[in-house]
A and B are shown apart, each in its own frame.
Chain A
Amino acid sequence: NAGVTQTPKFQVLKTGQSMTLQCAQDMNHEYMSWYRQDPGMGLRLIHYSVGAGITDQGEVPNGYNVSRSTTEDFPLRLLSAAPSQTSVYFCASSYNYRTSGRENTQYFGPGTRLTVL
């Protein structure tokens, strides 16, 4: 298993540009999520999904869109990048304890470092 993979590893954007951060997992996990990590602030949840076709907002959703058309993929879209979105982005996946009864410990991808100029 490759686990959770993310692309790209690094990205530089200009203000107003759009882009999609890719995330994929091969563990058949129902639950997938996106976090951003800023210095001194830990990880904050942007959006999450409990299964294909279902998404919901996390703690800091503004400026980001997500979709979940398959179990494996959960892309994060920045429609019009802003300097405040400069951060490190992590994707994570887990089983959904509530529906599967299996442990819901999350496994993280390696991250995408995004700089918006």
Chain B
Amino acid sequence: GQQLNQSPQSMFIQEGEDVSMNCTSSSIFNTWLWYKQDPGEGPVLLIALYKAGELTSNGRLTAQFGTTRKDSFLNISASIPSDVGIYFCAGPNTGNQFYFGTGTSLTVIP
């Protein structure tokens, strides 16, 4: 099956620091999605990317669709305690199947 590799697996940062995480694929994606999951909840969409090279922001979050179409990046600026959670990248293949990365667990220390 499709492989979406996320790194890092986990991060422990101080409140106010910036965060960077990335996702790489073994094949080309035409859409990249970034989700956040809080404990006991379903994933919630943060940012959607549809074009190679696209840079999109949502508040303190910025995501980029890599120019090779095999990677994507998510940055969080000035982290706050409510940023805690697991962040997933995801994308559909050409056959309508969605694949998710293994997630990056973020802990923000006040």
Q: Which residues of A contact B (CB under 8 A)?
A: 4, 31, 33, 35, 40-45, 48, 50, 56, 58-59, 90, 92, 96-98, 103-111
Count residues of chain B with CB under 8 A from any CB of chain A.
Answer: 25
Q: Which residues of B contact A (CB under 8 A)?
A: 1-2, 4, 31, 33, 35, 40-45, 48, 50, 88, 90, 92, 96-103
Q: Which of chain B's residues have a CB closer than 8 A to the CB of A59?
A: 1-2, 97, 99
Which residue of B is nearest A60, CB measured? B1
CB pair A108 B43 closer than 8 Å: yes
CB pair A107 B45 closer than 8 Å: yes
A98 to B94, CA, bound (A): 10
CB pair B97 A45 closer than 8 Å: yes
Interface centre among A33, A35, A43 (most CB of B within 10 A): A43
CB pair A45 B42 closer than 8 Å: no
CB pair B96 A48 closer than 8 Å: yes
CB pair B43 A41 closer than 8 Å: no
Interchain residue pairs with CB less than 8 A apart (28): A4-B42, A42-B88, A42-B101, A42-B103, A43-B43, A43-B88, A43-B100, A44-B100, A45-B98, A45-B99, A48-B96, A48-B98, A59-B2, A90-B43, A92-B98, A96-B96, A97-B92, A103-B48, A103-B50, A104-B92, A105-B48, A106-B33, A106-B90, A108-B35, A108-B43, A109-B42, A110-B42, A111-B40
